[in-house]
Chains A and B, each alone.
Chain A
Amino acid sequence: MDLQIALLLAQDGIVNGAIYALLALALVLVFAVTRVIFIPQGEFVAYGALTLASLQAGSTPGTLWLLLMLGLAVAVLDASAAWRLGGRKLAGLVGRQLVYPVAVAGAVLGLSPQDWPMGLQAVLALAVVVPLGPQLYRLAYQPIAEAPVLILLIVSVALHLALVGLGLLFFGAEGSRTSAFSELSLEIGGLTITGQSLWVVGASALLIVALYVFFERSLYGKALRATAINRAGARLMGISTTLAGKLSFLLAAAIGALSGILIAPITTVYYDTGFLVGLKGFVGAIVGGLVSYPVAAAGALLVGLLESFSSFWASAFKEVIVFTLIIPVLVWRSLTTRHVEEEE
């Protein structure tokens, strides 16, 4: 192994690690705000990538029907809730849940997006996939928002299995690739850097900075942080925990779908690719104890590098090595942190 190979491996590790870092941040965010261990996080990666791929291939992505169905289900639930409260806001609530999916469906079916420039296609794919996050929160988690972590975890597993099954139905068993954002290729000291890998690292860095600004500077970001620190206290200050939940799921879905769109040109994405990618993000998030954003991001980068180097040294044991990382981390964490019993 010479220096050039080491550099190539490090480059590969950083590009993968950047994606894991994004997913780790989304997992920490969702867990901190809603106490949900969001296993279906990875499914948004696959949905984002495959929705873009089917838009480019000129076929209708199955996620569009999911968006419409979930929109309808949410509208029905909201309508019955509003009815019980007197029915004043009924029309507005229902309208909001239905108008948006129908508008997106109109754009996908009526405006032939396969001829659009790549950037617009990516935006449309995000417009289809991202609202699934808050919709799923409304349907699956909001009714049991106060349940213990274990029950929320069980719901996450169920949701993950349902979404993987739907992914197979929507996109089929074989994978897809999308065209690259840029065909750029730089030579620096014998090291080839592709434009796409710069996109991945750049977009990840930008998103991390944007998240930081959002949490530090904006009112909604501060509301999310307040909910994460103390739910009851946040409610007393007039912060809606339901809104906080929906907002965190919106962000998680956006981060997931965007990650998918970023990796789709570099690798083949399958309906079930997301799970493993999400799981590696989860290992990163665990390094940060599911609470610290910077440590989670660093942990995810470590996972990326470890994966890349172990695929060179012992490719058959790559996954074993990556997931074994979690054991020393857990031992170290349980020895160094004070254990707090969760009140049930």
Chain B
Amino acid sequence: MNIQMKSLLALAVVATFTGRALADINVGVVVSATGPAASLGIPEKNTFALMPTSIGGEKINYIILDDASDTTTAVKNTRKLLTEDKVDVIVGSTITPNSLAMIDIVAEAETPMVSMAASARIVDPANPKVKWVFKTPQNDIQMSTAIVEHMTGANVKTVAFIGFADAYGEGWFNEFSKIAEARKLQIVANERYNRADTSVTGQVLKVMAAKPDAVLIAGSGTPAALPQKVLKEKGYKGAFYQTHGVANKDFLRVCGKDCEGTFLPAGPVLVAAQLPDSNPIKKVALDYVGKYEAAHGKGSTSTFGAHAWDAGLLLQNAVPVALKKAKPGTKEFKLALRDALEGLKNVTISHAIVNMSPQDHLGFDQRARVMVTVENGEWKLIK
């Protein structure tokens, strides 16, 4: 090693320690702001700009990286945040495959992580590494139970399923078919389509040939409107169910009058203003909606951005507890923060009231979902 290399190395070491003040809390964020999940990732990314810049008197730095909806990039970004930015906690990623891939890395680095993706597998208590992982969106199973309950209540006997030909559609079919079977609901057709497909005529004809009482479409964002529009065009008269993946304004814009009367389960934040005043979630959810719409225009809130907001709320509750035990930037602080997150009780966030436990790193109950219908181009809470 020559002199030049040595001095460079010394410089690098100095730069590492002076780059960020040690007392600040560094939050590493991985979102899918581009690529197929961009419609979920963009509102999440926008939400971080609205979060408080200090918690418990300590300055918070949010370091936001885009993973382009790509698993490899998500892993790379996570490593970068842990080694270069020395973050105290990771928030992300937007989608399930990326979040699952990040678990190994945060567990190895003993850093807590709060995922914004839906699958229950992310916080599966059977995996010891999940000790470090928390998440804010509802489990798919919770949402499918709500759909099946509504279907049986509406006397639906047969149902057809059309879902994305990816992890989202597949995951939904698995959860939904399990519960449907238990409740004597017959699935008469099971079709797949791609997010970017320009035609779903084949799938729709097959569904119509099976003559179901209702159709469940498992897609996210505006692509979920296509099968419903084609079914209506071909004259299908039964009931329509969508998943909480469609809960944004763009879906209503693209689907138009073809989506009137569609049922879907969603987080309460979607219909925050219609919640009864006695519901503690209402105040928290309206606070988020107000802040987001002030920055991005009326009707711009989506439930996805609220998942990011909820991750922020969890941190705002857990960080003050952890600060009593250790200083940010240390290994002890990360452990204290993890313990504090696991110990959260009765914390109201925009989607739910959270009661964490070592077995449950989601901590939601029935209050975390409502059934919603589309009425006159708006979301309407079903009481």
Contact = CB atoms under 8 A, between A and B. Distances in A.
Interface in A30-73: none
Contact of A168 (B38, B195, B197): B38
A174 B209 contact: no
A5 B210 CA distance: 13
Contacts of A318: 165, 192-194, 202
B206 interface: yes
The size bracket of the interface on A is 35 or more
A292 interface: no
Interface in A294-327: 307-313, 315-316, 318-319
Contacts of B194: 276, 318-319
B347 to A, nearest CB: 30
B201 interface: yes
B139 interface: no
Given A175-B254, A308-B199, A308-B201, A316 B192 contact: yes
B198 interface: yes
A271 to B, nearest CB: 8
A204 B198 CA distance: 17
B250 A174 contact: yes
Interface residue tally of chain B, by bracket? Answer: 20 to 34
Q: Is chain B's interface secondary structure helix, strand, loop, or mixed overall? A: helix
Contact of A174 (B34, B196, B226, B248): B248
B223 A268 contact: yes
Interface string B61-83: 00000000000000000000000
A268 B230 CA distance: 11
B192 A315 contact: yes
A315 B206 contact: yes
Contacts of B308: none
A273 B198 CA distance: 8
Contacts of A312: 202-203, 205-206
B254 A174 contact: yes
B250 A12 contact: no
Interface string B126-149: 000000000000000000000000
Interface in B202-230: 202-203, 205-206, 209, 221-223, 225-226
B222 to A, nearest CB: 4
B226 A311 contact: no
Nearest to A9: B202
A183 to B, nearest CB: 12
Nearest to A176: B254
Interface in B174-202: 191-202
B317 interface: no
Contacts of A19: 198
Given A312-B206, A315-B202, A318-B165, 5 more contacts: A173-B42, A175-B222, A268-B223, A311-B202, A315-B206
23 contacts: A9-B201, A12-B199, A19-B198, A172-B39, A173-B39, A173-B41, A174-B250, A175-B222, A267-B198, A268-B223, A268-B225, A268-B254, A273-B196, A307-B199, A308-B201, A309-B202, A311-B199, A311-B201, A311-B202, A312-B203, A315-B165, A315-B206, A318-B202
5 closest A-B pairs by beta carbon, nearest first, are A311-B202, A173-B38, A312-B202, A174-B250, A173-B39
Interface of B: 34, 36, 38-39, 41-42, 165, 191-203, 205-206, 209, 221-223, 225-226, 248, 250-251, 253-254
